[in-house]
Structures are given as C-alpha cells and as structure tokens.
Amino acid sequence: MQGFICVFGVLELPVFVTLRPGFWQFSPMRTRRPAAEQLPADELCRSRLENQIDVRHPLVQLSHRLPWSALEQALSPRLPATTSTGGRPALPVRLIAGLLDLKHAYDLSDEAVCERWLENPYWQFFTGEVVFQTCVPCDPSSLTRWRQRLGEAGMEALLAHTINTAHAMKAVDARELSRVIVDTTVQEKAIAHPTDSRLLEVARKKLVLLAKRHGIVLRQTYVRQGPGLSRKAGRYAHARQFKRMRKVLRRQRTILGRV
C-alpha cells in the first residue's frame, strides 16, 4: 500500500492506493471535518463567508465572543471524533453546539433549524463554516441523538458557557441570574369538575365496589338509576336545557350521599 497526492483539476485529495491483481482501488483518507481556523484561505476558489456578510451582525459578534475551544474541550468526551467501531467521523463540536443554540434561540424544530441553516449565511458562519454550503449540515434526526449523547451534564455545560458569554458582553446583569422565573401556565385538558354528572356516577360506582370488597351490605346501590341519570344529564346539557340538567345533578348528588 502506497500513499501519494492525486490531483484532479484544482483539487488535491490525499488517497490511499490499494494494489490488487487486475485493477486499482482508491479509498479516501477518513478524517474529521476541520475547524474553521484550520481550513485554507479559499476552498476551490470560492469566496469566504466573512467577505459576504456584515461583520456587525449580532450572530457574527456572538460567534467571536463564544469560547468555542473551551466548549469543545468540555463536550469532546461525550462527542468523540470517531467511534470505537469505526464508521463515519463525527461532525465538529462547534457545529453541534451552534445548531442547538440556534434551535432554542429561535424556538424551531429540528427540521426547521436545518432548513434555515441552509439558506442563512449568518447561521453558517456562526457554526464555523468558512464558505457558503449548499447541503444541509446533518439529518434532523441527528440532533436528537446528539442531545441524548450530551445528556444533562453536557447541556448544563453548554448553558453555562452561553450565560458566561452573555455576562461578559453585558447582555445580562448578574442580579438577573439570582432568581429563576418559571412559567407555570396550565392549560385545561381532560378535567372533570365536581359538578359533572359523569364524575358523580363514577364516585357512586367506586363506593359500591369498595363496599362489596369490604363486605358492607348497602341498602340501595342505584345500579339501574345511576347510569340513566348520567345519560339524561348529558342530553339536557346538549339541548341547553340547563334547568332540567341541574335537577338531574341534584338527584345524583342525593343518590351519592345516600350510598
């Protein structure tokens, strides 16, 4: 096996050549995608992103202030460059962390953040790209697997570096971090109120069942009258005959009290 540089036009690609009887087989060298600062000045004569965008944009300023090196050191143990079983090399930590930051900053789904990354040069620059890319950075399902691999500790490290950067840029005050505001808005869903006919009938059935389980003999169980009253209350409510419905509810509460 011999290694040499194979030239295709303006592209120089390092390859390994495996000599076998009767034919040549080329296999590209498997390496991890380089970071932004390790890429050449121009990639295939394409203009760099920093020459096409406004360097005063907030995302550009934030990308220069975030400690990407420290973040990579903190997350690299959970996101190794290669797996023990081989396979395709992992994507850069900056790309993963940048996509997660953009997803939560703009409240987007995994599919939406990948689609907007493809058409937004500022997002690509924020995640470490040097030239404009025309393919999605990854499959949207990969974001879910990355979050699982990062775990709670990895997400806390990402949040800590983000907060420290915001504090250094004076975007937040230290006093604002002393108290956590949690939104406890509750939306009603499948709630049975105490005045509901169905709930009164369920309570009657439960009491009868518990009485039988403990050997208590009831004088009346209203096993026939109870379900009928529940259905009648529903029909009255549907017909907006609320006076009759309230009368049925009073009867159900009386039955429940007797049981």
pLDDT tens per residue across span 186-216: 766 666 655 678 888 888 999 999 999 988 8
Specify burial of residue 129 (Cβ count, 10 A radius: 0-12, 13-18, 19+).
Answer: buried
* Residue 28 confidence (pLDDT): 35
> Which pTM was predicted?
0.52
3-class SS string, 213-230: HCCCCCCCCCCCHHHHHH
Q: Would you list the domain boundaries of the chain?
A: 1-30, 32-177, 197-258
What sign does the dihedral 223-224-229-234 (CA atoms) show? positive
What is residue 175's DSSP assignment? G
More confident residue, 114 or 25: 114
| Residue range 95-106, pLDDT digits in tens | 988 999 899 889
7 forms beta bridges with: 12
Average pLDDT, the chain: 77
Q: Is residue 65 over pLDDT 80?
A: yes
**What is d(CA 219, CA 198) in angstroms, rounded to the nearest whole number?**
23
Return phi, psi of residue 24, to 5°. -110, 145
Are 145 and 57 in contact by the 8 Å Cβ rule? The answer is no
Kindly give the residue spans of alpha helices, DSSP state H, lying in 91-196. 93-105, 110-119, 121-126, 140-168
| Residue range 136-156, pLDDT digits in tens | 888 888 888 888 888 888 888
